[in-house]
Amino acid sequence: MSDRIHTLSGYFYEYQKSVTEPESFWARIADSFHWKKRWDKVLKWDFEGPNVKWFVNGKLNITENIFEKNLFAFGDRTAIIWEPSEPGEDVRTISYKELYHQVCQFSNALKSKGIQKGDRVIIYMPMIPEAAIAMLACARIGAIHSVVFAGFSANALTDRIIDSGAKAILTSDGNYRGNKKIGIKAIVDEALEKADVETVIVCQRTGQDVTMKAGRDHWWHEVIVGEKDSNVAKEMDSEDPLFILYTSGSTGKPKGVVHSTAGYMVYTKYTFENVFQYSPGDVYWCTADIGWITGHSYIVYGPLLSGATTLMFEGVPTYPDPGRFWAVIEKHKVNQFYTAPTAIRALQAYGTDPIAPYNLDSLKVLGSVGEPINEEAWRWYYNHIGQSRCPIVDTWWQTETGGILVSPIAGITPTKPAFATLPLPGIQLAIVDPEGNELTGNSVEGNLCIKYPWPSMIRTLWGDHGRCKETYFSTYKGMYFTGDGVKRDHDGYYRILGRVDDVINVSGHRMGTAEVENAINEHPLVIESAVVGYPHEVKGQGIYAFVICDMSHRTEENLINEIKETVSKIIGPIAKPDKIQIVSGLPKTRSGKIMRRILRKVAEGSTDNMGDTSTLLDPEVVTKIIEGRK
């Protein structure tokens, strides 16, 4: 691990080099990887296009950098520890050698079903090792994987199948969520009533009965029979897409973020090793689902490229009791623990009694991901889980960035509660005012942009490059706009203030307000709706919906329950509004634009100063909404 930063002065030295000589900086990092053909040029870019290419004309396969490059040195080392939902069930440990053979065998099975380079494959699976094997097998043969969180509804899955033009779906019979058994194959079947794929491969997990369509549906354990457990990885270009990951947009249609092969590989390994200060032999645990970018970058690719031992957990933090996380840490002697503020706040509510029975002495580093962590949760996490000795890496990044951009380096960067601290090497941040003027110096607040490319950044939106430009590169000329507000304090530390656009961060999962509104409006009695985020003590942000309805057929309570059910069916339970207020009208400007600023204040309960309402078509509507909230 020659690219590890060991001291604070080392960080400043590396950072300075990365911004003054970015191309030679990243070339040095990339040189430690295995290339079938070295690149001709490190970087070609313009943010106008946008058009970004790293390691131009380089040839490689990301899985060779996990397996072939390292098998001789540590084939017997544990790659994945799998902890099942049910505490009594057997743990699975898979060595690098075993993982290599399973990935090769399954990739051969995919090829036998006609999957080839460039084909899109949807992975809709629970947190089982086969989900990681599926991702790596796709990468091995050059197929583009698109993992869809297995909590999403059939409709959400249909949208992603159609948008990506997927050829196959990899799924399971069902999954376990706490003490519940959920049928996943049934959701896939429902999604495929409105979309079409050639092949469905089903992994057995729960043993429940499923419908198998002849010719299309196959059992995982049957398709691998007779397949060889070795093969030659497909040669890929540096800029070939590795995966598509859908994220909510501020319009109803989800955006398929495309990440390329080489830049993503180089950046995830570099940031994993540095941020977490991972050492060979450590046991690292990220509690995310692989359906999110955190699971891609910091359960699968980053750790495995580093030869790490990565723990996959199938369960939830409160089953069978709220001590489960701490039990798993003790059981597997976890050294680095990476979770979301939502989980921390939810467990904080149970107090310290569930922690008491467990020995957490193995912990060296704590991490936070998905949303800004509030100071109270930060201190609880530091004092009670880290025993006031483990540094917290409060990481800021996005689906679109591919890897962590702003974070302390564990044990090296002095931390401050609720601050993501400093940008990682290679990340050139800019704070801009609404007109796009860069605010220099310290003690400033504005919108967070990035003015120079980094290797793991978004390349395009699948099938819609115009939307990519419009969303990320057109707000401020010559810069990538993150959509987040930020403050740089007197020490030059960054504190992320959350979304400035119409996206709500619910438990670290981004929900476009338009997407939730579209789902609410599907209910036949809904006339119009407006959705905003509001502070939620567990989730960070909750979803507050203001809805105009035809009330002649239902009681308010029944209608609210039906609306929640509608959203659950269309997007998934995660998008269900926490609060629904039935209103007679919405605050609109004369041009018909909804004034969300006013609705946010109502949702937050801060209605003393509503600002200028003179531009509203009917200012009286606001008074009625405030009364209704009370």
Summarised one tens digit per residue, pLDDT across range 530-565 is: 999 999 988 889 999 999 988 888 899 999 999 999
Residue 318: helix, strand or coil by DSSP? coil
Return the closest-CA partner of residue 548 out of 621, 630, 614.
621
Read off the amino acid at residue 7.
T
Structural domain contains residue 304: yes
Are residues 423 and 509 located together in one domain of the fold? no
Residue 522, SS3 per DSSP: coil
**Last residue of a domain, which of 404, 427, 450?**
427
Q: Is the pLDDT of residue 138 over 90?
A: yes
Our CA angle for 594, 600, 605, nearest 5°, is 135
The pair phi, psi for residue 506, each rounded to 5°, is -100, 110
pLDDT at 613: 66
Q: Give the end-to-end CA distance of the chain in Å, rounded to a whole number.
A: 58
User: Which segments within 294-394 are labelled E, that is strand?
Assistant: 309-313, 336-339, 365-368, 392-394
Q: Which amino acid is at 417?
A: P
Amino acid at residue number 485: G
Asked which of 427, 459, 481 is the last residue of a domain, the reply is 427
| Closest C-alpha among 143, 247, 261, 128 to residue 197 | 143
Same domain, 421 and 510: no
Q: Which two tokens stand for residue 462?
A: 């699948």
C-alpha neighbours within 13 Å on the C-beta side of residue 141: 27
Question: What size, in residues, is the chain?
Answer: 630
Question: How large a percentage of the chain has pLDDT more than 70?
Answer: 97
Instruction: Tell me the two tokens of residue 136.
Output: 């790596």
Are 393 and 519 in a shared domain?
no
Query: Is 19's pLDDT higher than 90?
Result: yes
Half-sphere exposure of residue 66: CA atoms within 13 angstroms, side-chain side: 34
255 within 8 A of 295, measured Cβ to Cβ:
no
Categorise residue 408: left if φ over 0, alpha if ψ from -120 to 50, beta otherwise: beta
pLDDT at 252 over 60: no
Q: What would the mean pLDDT of 437-450 be, rounded to a whole number? A: 95
3-state class (DSSP) for residue 262: helix
* Model confidence at 591: pLDDT above 60: no
Query: Are residues 420 and 509 located together in one domain of the fold?
Result: no
Same domain, 380 and 526: no
The least confident of 455-459, 572-576, 593-597, 609-613 is 609-613
Same domain, 390 and 530: no
| C-alpha to C-alpha distances, 419 to 396, 407, 620, nearest whole angstrom | 9, 8, 41
Task: Give the CA dihedral 9, 270, 280, 299, nearest 10 degrees.
Answer: 130
pLDDT at 448: 97
Q: Could you give the CA distance from residue 123 to residue 132 in angstroms, rounded to a whole number?
A: 10
pLDDT value for 589 = 64
CATH number at residue 602: 3.30.300.30
CA 274 to chain centre: 20
Q: Which two tokens stand for residue 204?
A: 């057995």
Q: What is the pLDDT of residue 371?
A: 80
Residues 401 and 548 in one domain: no
Q: Which two tokens stand for residue 612?
A: 């200028």
Whether 306 is covered by a domain: the verdict is: yes
Confidence at residue 62, expressed as pLDDT on a 0 to 100 scale: 98
Span 17-26, mean pLDDT? Answer: 98
* pLDDT on residue 355: 97
Token pair of 50 as six digits: 């946008």
- Mean pLDDT calculated for residue range 250-258: 77
User: So what's the pLDDT on residue 358?
Assistant: 98
Which pTM was predicted?
A: 0.86
Residues 513 and 404 placed together within one structural domain of the fold: no
> What would you report as the CA-atom Rg of the chain, rounded to the nearest whole angstrom?
24
- Shared domain for 421 and 282, answered yes or no, is yes
What pLDDT, in 10s, does the model give residues 377-406? 899 999 999 999 999 999 999 999 999 999
- Is residue 402 domain-shared with residue 522, that is, in the same domain? no
Helices (H) and strands (E) in the chain, counts: 19, 30
DSSP symbol at 90 = P
Domain for residue 133, yes or no? yes
pLDDT at 603 over 80: yes
Cβ-based neighbour number of residue 550 at 10 Å: 12
Looking at the domain assignment, is residue 222 inside a domain? yes
Residues 499, 504, 505, 507, Cα dihedral to 10° = 160
Q: Is residue 529 part of a domain?
A: yes
544 and 397 in one domain?
no
Q: Residue 321: pLDDT above 60?
A: yes
Domains contained in the chain, number: 2
Of 106-120, 223-237, 264-278, 362-376, the range with the lowest mean pLDDT is 362-376
Say if residue 595's pLDDT is above 90: no
* Exposure on the CB side of residue 53, measured as CA atoms within 13 A: 14
Q: Does residue 176 lie within any of the structural domains?
A: yes
Q: Is residue 414 part of a domain?
A: yes
- Tell whether 391 and 524 lie within a shared domain: no
Q: Which of 369-383, 555-569, 615-629 has the lowest mean pLDDT?
A: 615-629
With respect to residue 18, please indicate whether it lies within any of the assigned structural domains.
yes
63: CATH? 3.40.50.12780
What is the extent of the structural domain holding 604?
504-629
pLDDT tens-digit series, residues 102-131: 999 999 999 999 999 999 999 999 999 999
| DSSP assigned state of 381 | I
Across the chain, what does the average pLDDT equal?
93
More confident residue, 202 or 377: 202
What is the rounded (10 degree) CA torsion for 315, 317, 323, 325?
80
In whole angstroms, give the CA distance from residue 419 to residue 39.
37
- Of 518, 512, 430, 439, give the one whose Cα is nearest residue 471: 512
Work out whether strand 217-219 and strand 199-203 pair parallel, antiparallel, or are unpaired. Answer: parallel
Directed axis angle between helix 596-604 and helix 620-629, to 10°? 30
User: What is the pLDDT at residue 125?
Assistant: 98
CA angle, corner 482, sides to 481 and 483, nearest 5? 95
The arithmetic mean of pLDDT across residues 72-98, rounded, is 96
Distance from C-alpha of 278 to C-alpha of 256, rounded to nearest angstrom: 31
In this predicted model, which residue has the larger pLDDT, 158 or 612? 158
What does the block give as tokens for 558?
């029944």
* Band (266; pLDDT cuts 50, 70, 90): very high
Q: Which of 377, 412, 427 is the last residue of a domain?
A: 427
Backbone angles phi, psi at 80, to 5 degrees: -125, 130
Judged by DSSP in three states, 506 sits in: strand
